[in-house]
Structure 1
């Protein structure tokens, strides 16, 4: 059968599923990703690979991997792979859609709540011995109930975010490539242009894929349109935000804070100025990190590999 390389230890039963299908499986055992030269060597010896979104697969790597038939990305996004370049070399690219929307929206809303109510900052202060008395002015935050949420990108995750906002009776405005009348009726949200969304929202949550039109879409101009009390939540991709502009906006009090599950680069070096702001929350790209969701993502990726190596069409094709 086939030789399968998996670039990280994964949860669930996907490895066993692949082996039961008759494939030889090698799993990269280290916590970090395989270095580029190692990844290239493993791909050269593989018929299939299960990759993570941080595994950059270059055209030159594909040139030295004549056996490779499929790259099963264990993610919805696939900006780490050029599907067109892979297709030129006869390599199928697949992803794992439709499984992580609710889990990612849970995390996005958790970040929103934590930033609004100073959960992280107050926890740090308490652990450092700062809790000496109750104070009527200590860690005053923002109300979420009844506030305005701006959703940038009303796809599956954006819709899941809007659904959560209903329980807090939030006013939801959104912008997207196309209007979503059914979602508007279901969630009571309103389509606006991005400038109006930024100006109106108490919380702005980003849910767009990374591509040429979204790279750097939140820059200095967009940040200046936001309320000085507004909080930016990003669980999409770090490159969607101009990080230098965000740092300047936080330094100058242009916005009220940020909650980031994604950064540019990842991991974010400890000397980065974003770590110095008490009104910024940074988590290590864990929006889809529930055991059930990650295991399901791995199973979907394995199913795509099994299909392609059996000469069938992939279940979740990208190219």
Structure 2
């Protein structure tokens, strides 16, 4: 393989990924900015021409303009995420450029976060901490009552790798029933003891509704006001997919009016969420700042898989996790 050049478009890319590429004889350039810095996108556009591979580890849109700026020699593109909602997949495919992501690598880390959110929302961690900080620690058998996971019905929207990892963990919590919905039957569902049902039934019967599906035009705002009214009064909504899966205005109303018991969110729209956003004011809405894959081991592995995707494409092999 002749000397190849790769550009990484966000400076937070883990060093292990850069070392991996260097060891394979790939010359790597890193854009010295992060997403939230105003110089980021102009710097990408100014410097992206002439590379054979791109690691698109940014939330900026990868579209026809970027591909035109990159030039016709571009042979491979990969994200450093499982989602590709910021990638113009159809345009990439039309141009015959291989596109990869990092599916499966982050399944366990995200599933761990889901479990944390379930417990935090069901047991009212946010309310308890707020009362503690206000020196309002109360007593009595009716104070700060939550809802049990044991014997509950858990509904998972999207029984992919993350959804399956969540079910495996929840098995130890003595869940009564697992439901799931999605575009197709999952062969793994039988072994996991999960039953496929229509989305409306899942929402109606579940005590915990977990969103673990990708954001697409079809899933955008899939949890809207009507869906929230369908859910149980004691239901807890967990979102570890993407913020755009939920109509947040409708969720605010549902939580404030106690149409549902609570919510635990690792993802919101936009990110970061403004500190005056109404959802942050609610005691029954537990929000964390998109920590799903945020472990050292997982992020390092994501970087290595990104590098492997690019190298495989350079060598005429299928990417480790191809998008098409």
Instruction: Name the TM-score, length of structure 1 as normaliser.
Output: 0.92
Structure 1 position 221, deviation (Å): 0.8
| 1:1-319 pair list within 5 angstroms | 1-6=3-8, 7-11=10-14, 13-33=16-36, 35-52=40-57, 54-66=59-71, 67-131=73-137, 134-170=139-175, 171-180=177-186, 182-184=188-190, 186-319=191-324
Q: Which moved more, 1:290-299 or 1:247-256?
A: 247-256
Deviations 1:210-242 (A, max 9, x none): 112211111111110001121100001111111
Q: Please report how far the alpha carbon of residue 261 of structure 1 lies from its aligned counterpart in structure 2 after TM superposition.
A: 0.8
Deviations 1:126-177 (A, max 9, x none): 234333x544333221111221111111111111111122111112111121
How far is the alpha carbon of 1:30 from its aligned partner? Answer: 4.0
How far 1:31 sits from its partner (Å)? 4.6
Shift of 1:179: 2.5
Q: Distance in 2 between matches of 1:220 and 1:198?
A: 12
Shift of 1:124: 3.4
Flag the 1:98–1:63 CA change in 2: closer, same or farther, 3 A.
Answer: same
| Alpha-carbon contact 1:165-1:172 (below 8 Å) kept | no
Off by >4 Å, runs of 4+ in structure 1: none
Measure, in 1, the Cα distance between the counterparts of 2:188 and 2:25.
Answer: 45
Between 294-303 and 282-291, the greater mean CA deviation after superposition: 282-291
Structure 2 SS opposite 1:286:
coil
Q: Secondary structure at the match of 2:70?
A: coil
Structure-2 separation of matches of 1:192 and 1:57: 35
Change (3 A) 1:274 1:45: farther
In the alignment, the residues of structure 2 paired with residue 123 and residue 278 of structure 1 have an alpha-carbon distance, to the nearest angstrom, of: 10
Q: Distance in 2 between matches of 1:69 and 1:181?
A: 34
Taking only aligned residues, the RMSD between alpha carbons, in angstroms, comes to: 2.0
Distance 1:71 1:182 in 2: 30
CA contact (8 A) 2:104 2:162 kept: no
Question: 1:40–1:30: structure 2 CA closer, same or farther, 3 Å change rule?
Answer: closer
- Alpha-carbon spacing, 1:303–1:234, altered in 2? closer, same or farther (3 Å): same
What is the CA–CA distance in structure 2 between the aligned matches of 1:88 and 1:175, rounded to whole Å?
Answer: 31
Distance of 2:296 and 2:130 partners within structure 1: 27
- Secondary structure of 1:298's match? helix
